[in-house]
Amino acid sequence: MNKDKKIRSLKWKFAKIMLLCWVLPFLVIIGLVGSYMLITQRENQMERLAAQAGLNTRTCAERLNGAIADSRQATYDGTLFEQYRQYRRQGSSGERIFSNGVQNYLNAQYSHKKNNIFTVLMLKEDPLNKHYTSYNFGTGGSYGMIQHFFSQDRDQVLELAKSLDTAVGFLKTDNGFYIVRNMMDRSFTAWGILVSRVNVNYCFEPVKTAWEDFHVQLNISGNPFVEAGKVVSIEDIRAEYPEYASNMKDDMIPASPADGVQYAVPFYGYWEGLYVNKAVMEAAGAEIPTADTTWDQFLETCQVIKNAGYTPIATSLAKEPHYWFEFAIYNHDSAKTHTTVPEAVDDAAGEAWQAGLADIKDLYEKGFLSENTNTATGDEVFQSFLEGKSAFYLDGSWKMGGIKEGTDDIDNFTVTYVPGNGDRKSTDIIGGLSSGWYISTKCWEDEAKRDAAVSLVEKFISDETVSAFAGTATTALKNGAEIDESSLTNLEKDALAMPKDTTGITGAVQDLVTQDERAPIFDNMPQIVEGQTEITDALQEMLDIIEENAE
């Protein structure tokens, strides 16, 4: 009996030795190999996902660029302009021929394009009544949809077109995404406005795959998602992924208007800056403003230019008061407070608006604005800038195309910051980073997808990816967009350098009030600078209209 116990005891000791010295290590090795295989598989999956994400993004860009190219084609081939020119010569007798010709052109060019839902051409002389349309039935276009455009989105399109000149503009509304461009004659005067509603289901289908699989989305206006609690804040993401979006300037990541919290990592957008005619500056013996130039120094420079016989600032207060309106007010608030509409004439925002309008009046009284600023069109003052009669011209990043098309010496022009005053640094700009990458709450709460979603967004927001799409546009990248400068003009190189040193960015406060609400200021700007209308009266009238509209 004792012998059997000894044998069993010896067997168990031998089994324990086997277990400790061979079986357990083997299981550990198997576990490690399994873990390594899972990690490797996951890394390979993420690499494939990142590669596919890059391909999908490029495909999306190609489709959207195709829609933009289709819009440009209407200007480049000259067909519509020639028909319009014949119509203007013939008068009302040629209206039917013109209408048929435009209709045939729009149908031939746009009614079969996958990227297009409908296209509208509105004549500048009477956009409310003289318009021509074409829709693509295959992508969901319809006559009713076009009618809805005229009742809901037309006024916003017309307002955008005023600031575009020769550039292509984009407009996102609750109803759709539009490409807008002015139709120009040979003297670069707009005779029509071409609007195409983009088929976003087709153009953005490649990146929608990421949203469906990982609940990651590039969105132009994410406020509805924020209000519905469907997206995660950047702060919450960084609590677990501290390096998330670390290549971005935090001060340039826009907060949602819904609650003031940062949710979306910005992709790219636009900026507004001060274009400079270098030949005028040299002839006047004046220094080009830099990031360090103050407002008082800018006024001194304007005086030097005026004394030399040139107009310091080319601008039309009659037709385009909004650019100087924004920066004049901006010089009396900050990037954090600029998009605040006054609730009273004497509150903080109201006082900033009063002071800004007073600065515009001061520029006018000093003779620093175009002599005919209260009557001239935007095209007239822009031409004076191109022709070397004026030194400065304030406009957006889209204006580079107009300068390039309007001059044979593009190297004679540069762009810089609008000199700052008070709390606003000169490097605090007006711009837009309205599109960005969101991660959904649903995805964030799914641990199986969380890592993949974060990695995917990091691929989209990498310096390389953002630079490839942004070009000279505004980005929030700490290092700025990195692109091959060999093919750029000097103006484009200067434009590329400017956003790199940007310290703050804000949207335009005028966009927070409707056209009729801001009319007492914008429509009366000539009367304001001439002293015929008191600044406080114009501001109070605006506030009264806002109150009426809110009722």
CA distance 510 to 323: 10
CA distance 297 to 420: 10
What's the per-residue H, E or C state across 25-85?
HHHHHHHHHHHHHHHHHHHHHHHHHHHHHHHHHHHHHHHHHHHHHHHHHHHHCCHHHHHHH
> Which value, to the nearest 10 degrees, does the dihedral of the CA atoms of residues 506, 508, 512, 517 take?
150
CATH code of the domain occupying 271-431+514-550: 3.40.190.10
Q: How many CA atoms lie within 13 A of 274 on its CB side?
A: 25
Residue 22: DSSP 8-state? I
Closest CA to 68 of 135, 23, 113: 113
CA distance 531 to 545: 22
Q: What is the DSSP string of 316-384?
A: -TTT--HHHHHHHHHTTS-TTTTT---SSTTSHHHHHHHHHHHHHHHHHHTT-B-TTTTT--HHHHHHH
Q: Residue 513's pLDDT is what?
A: 84
CATH code of the domain occupying 215-269+433-481: 3.40.190.10
Q: Residue 50's pLDDT is what?
A: 53
Give the E-state strand segments of 124-184 in sequence order: 131-135, 168-172, 177-184
Indicate if 271-431+514-550 has the same CATH topology as 215-269+433-481: yes
> Which value, to the nearest 10 degrees, does the dihedral of the CA atoms of residues 324, 326, 332, 336 take?
-150
Mapped onto helix, strand or coil, the DSSP state of residue 394 is strand
Q: Residue 207's pLDDT is what?
A: 58
Q: Please, are residues 525 and 356 in contact by the beta-carbon 8 Å criterion?
A: no
How far is the first Cα of the chain from the last one, in angstroms, to the nearest whole number? 102
Q: What is the pTM of this model?
A: 0.62
- Whole-Å CA distances, 462 to 235, 251, 267, 477: 19, 18, 10, 9
Structure tokens at 11: 């067997």
CA distance 394 to 372: 16
Q: Please, are residues 278 and 288 in contact by the beta-carbon 8 Å criterion?
A: yes
- Whole-Å CA distances, 163 to 158, 181, 272, 335: 9, 10, 11, 22
CA distance 344 to 341: 9
CA distance 134 to 142: 9
Q: Please, are residues 353 and 518 in contact by the beta-carbon 8 Å criterion?
A: no
CATH code of the domain occupying 68-202: 3.30.450
Regions of the chain where pLDDT drops below 70: 1-58, 61, 205-224, 257, 434-435
The pLDDT tens digits for 216-264 are 555 555 566 777 888 899 999 999 999 999 999 888 887 776 777 888 8
Q: Residue 21's pLDDT is what?
A: 46
- Whole-Å CA distances, 295 to 316, 331, 419, 423, 519: 21, 9, 5, 12, 27
Q: Enumerate the domain spans of the chain.
A: 68-202, 215-269+433-481, 271-431+514-550
Which residues, at least 6 apart from 187, have a Cβ–Cβ distance to it below 8 Å?
A: 379
How many beta carbons lie within 10 A of that of residue 19, not counting itself? 12
Which residues, at least 6 apart from 216, have a Cβ–Cβ distance to it below 8 Å?
A: 210, 437, 438, 439, 440, 443, 453, 456, 457, 460
- 143-152 and 154-161 are packed helices; what angle lies between their axes, rounded to 10 degrees? 60
Residue 254: DSSP 8-state? P
CA quadruple 296, 302, 304, 307: dihedral positive or negative?
negative
Length of the chain: 551
